[in-house]
Structure 1
Amino acid sequence: MRKSLLLSCFSLFFLLAACGNKKNKNTSINNNQEITVYNFNTIEPLLYSTSNKTKIVNFWAMWCAPCVKELPYLQEYAQKHPNVELLLVSLDFPETIEKELKPFLKEKNITAKVIMLDDPDANSWINKIDPNWSGAIPFTIISINNKRMFYERSFENVEDLNNEIQNNF
Structure 2
Amino acid sequence: MRRIPVAARLALAGLITVVALAVALWPRHSDDTATVGDHPANSATTAALAARTAAGLTQCPVPAADAVGRGPLAGLGLGCLADGNPVDLAAALAGKPALLNLWAYWCGPCAKELPDVQEYARRAGNAITVLTVHSDPDEARALALLTDVKVTLPGVLDPRAKVRTAVGAPAVLPVSVLLRADGSVAEVVVRAFAGVDDIADTVANNLGVAA
TM-score, scaled to structure 2: 0.53
Q: Counterpart of 1:103?
A: 144
CA spacing shift, 1:126–1:144, aligned 2, 3 Å: closer
Q: Counterpart of 1:164?
A: 202
SS in structure 1 at match of 2:194: coil
Indicate the structure (1 or 2) with the bigger Cα radius of gyration. Answer: 2
Q: Does 1:46 align with 2:89?
A: yes
Q: 2:108, 2:131 → 1: CA distance?
A: 19
SS in structure 2 at match of 1:81: helix
Q: Deviations over 1:41-78 (max 9, x none)?
A: 31495257442x33111110111111111101111011
Q: 1:167, 1:35 → 2: CA distance?
A: 28
Letter in 2 for 1:118: P
Letter in 1 for 2:77: T
Which of the pair is proportionally richer in helix?
Answer: 1
CA spacing shift, 1:86–1:60, aligned 2, 3 Å: same
The answer (yes or no) to whether the contact 1:35–1:116 under 8 Å persists in 2 is no
Q: 1:50, 1:129 → 2: CA distance?
A: 16
Q: CA deviation at 1:87?
A: 1.0
CA spacing shift, 1:66–1:47, aligned 2, 3 Å: farther
- Please list every run of 5 or more consecutive structure 2 residues that lacks an aligned counterpart in the other structure: 1-49, 61-74, 79-86
The answer (yes or no) to whether the contact 2:100–2:178 under 8 Å persists in 1 is yes
SS in structure 1 at match of 2:187: strand
Q: Does 1:115 align with 2:156?
A: yes
- Please list every run of 5 or more consecutive structure 1 residues that lacks an aligned counterpart in the other structure: 1-26
SS in structure 1 at match of 2:131: strand
Q: 2:102, 2:76 → 1: CA distance?
A: 16
Q: 2:149, 2:163 → 1: CA distance?
A: 29
Among candidates 166, 172, 187, match of residue 136 of structure 1: 172
Q: Counterpart of 2:136?
A: 92
The answer (yes or no) to whether the contact 1:60–1:89 under 8 Å persists in 2 is yes
Q: 1:78, 1:46 → 2: CA distance?
A: 18
Q: Counterpart of 1:77?
A: 120
TM-score, scaled to structure 1: 0.65
Q: 1:125, 1:115 → 2: CA distance?
A: 10
Q: Counterpart of 2:81?
A: none
Matched pairs, number = 131
